[in-house]
Structure 1
Amino acid sequence: MSDGPPNRDAITGLILAGGQARRMGGEDKGLRPFAGRPLVEWCIEALAPQVGTLLISANRNIERYAAYGYPVIADSMAGFQGPLAGLLAGLRAARTPWILTLPCDAPRPPLDLAQRLVQALVERNADLAVATDGERRQSLHALLPVSFADDLERFLASGERKVEHWQTRHRIALADFRDCPERFGNINSPDEARRLEHVWPANTDPESPPSAPRIT
């Protein structure tokens, strides 16, 4: 990182909602109702105040996602090739030098996610920053330069698909979120969705960011 710390306007938020969601029965996970609203709405609400602009990575229901007022980008690779394919599309589409990624099945990310990732990036003079909850790396909660697009395209062309394998090719700064590991709770099955919905009212933020537009 040589051009100084990225500020809010230099970062595009990328919500990754382009997967097949096999464990959810193949439904479009970002549009799945959760605590009364589609998962993507929770992500927009949490991420939009932290970045200059947003993109939504989606391969189905494009018009429904577009109704939220943000550009929707589909994978250039056919066949649901995983989150790195959505990330590559985002790196190509972004008009800022940085991207902050967020999976659509993690509806309650830290409200200072961008701030801590930038701080870790600067302190460690790293190429990219990734969140850790104290026990494991949260590889899709990451701050990455768009200049990595060509490198990622070559990685995917080689047949690789693992997010962690690609990230470790570069200097990584780990941003410590061990004080709020619950912020990385994600929804991979109907049972997980029901469990998190049950505890959601007790865990909502007393001061929440401006609400995302609700699409009916």
Structure 2
Amino acid sequence: MIPSQQITGLVLAGGRATRMGQVQKGLQLLQSEPMLTHVLRGLQPQVGTIIINANQDLERYATFGYPVVSDEIKDFAGPLAGLHAGLLRCETPYLVCVPCDSPFLPNNLVENLALALIANQAQLAVVKALDNESESPHMRAQPVFALMEGGLAPHLLSFLENGGRKITTWYDSLQMIEVPFKDAASFRNINTLEELRHYNQNFAD
């Protein structure tokens, strides 16, 4: 098992949120609190320290009390650019990343990923959960929920400098293990304002 103090948590909040009207998803209110607050509450007990990746509204993100890092790779190069920024600041042997729009994190996320990473001598452990939204439900990888070695920044930078942008393509270049989680609901993300209103209404009811 990896001690939590050896793991840095990275919350990815640096995207453009085009499906949510280009507002900052992590700052939108769920149950009267920013979605980011829910994510941080779920992640904090599982790691030693936390970094937030954001490219806009940096002062607002800084009010959450954790270091805020912006992409070194410019022009919104996707989640890998945020991951690269987090790895550059990572001072622990391991880093776990989660998105800012998934406020239902399971409390065994990091533990299960860490156990699989060590048991399989892998560089990267990725969540695999049930996809209920397709016509035929099946298990599929959830690539933005992942635990990895903390020293992968140079490898990732080389991938990005050569034009790579797809997160699963970079993952395929590493020693990777997919880790099944039964509770797919824990990895739901809120992509649109309509979905956010839906969850807020359900909580109100």
Shift of 1:195: 2.5
**What is the aligned-residue RMSD (CA, Å)?**
1.3
> Given the two structures, how large is their TM-score scaled by the length of structure 1?
0.87
> What aligned pairs does 1:164-175 form with structure 2 within 5 A after superposition?
164-175=168-179
Shift of 1:196: 2.6
Distance 1:196 1:173 in 2: 32
Shift of 1:6: 2.5
In the TM superposition, structure 1's runs of 4+ consecutive aligned residues that sit over 3 Å from their partners are 198-202
Structure 2 segments unaligned to the other structure (5+ residues): 131-138
Give the equivalent residue in structure 1 for 2:7.
Answer: 11
> What aligned pairs does 1:129-144 form with structure 2 within 5 A after superposition?
129-134=125-130, 135-144=139-148
Match of 1:153 among 151, 154, 157: 157
Give the equivalent residue in structure 2 for 1:74.
Answer: 70
Native 8 Å contact 2:27 2:35 kept in 1: yes
Structure 1 segments unaligned to the other structure (5+ residues): 203-216
Shift of 1:123: 2.0
Give the equivalent residue in structure 1 for 2:28.
Answer: 32
CA deviations over 1:90-113 (Å, ceiling 9, x no partner): 000011111110100111111110
> What aligned pairs does 1:38-187 form with structure 2 within 5 A after superposition?
38-134=34-130, 135-178=139-182, 180-187=183-190
Q: Which amino acid aligns with 1:122?
A: I
Shift of 1:201: 6.6
Distance 1:122 1:201 in 2: 42
What fraction of aligned residue pairs are identical, expressed as a percent?
40
> Given the two structures, how large is their TM-score scaled by the length of structure 2?
0.92
Partner of 2:151, secondary structure, is helix
Task: Give the number of the structure whose residues are more often strand, by fraction.
Answer: 2
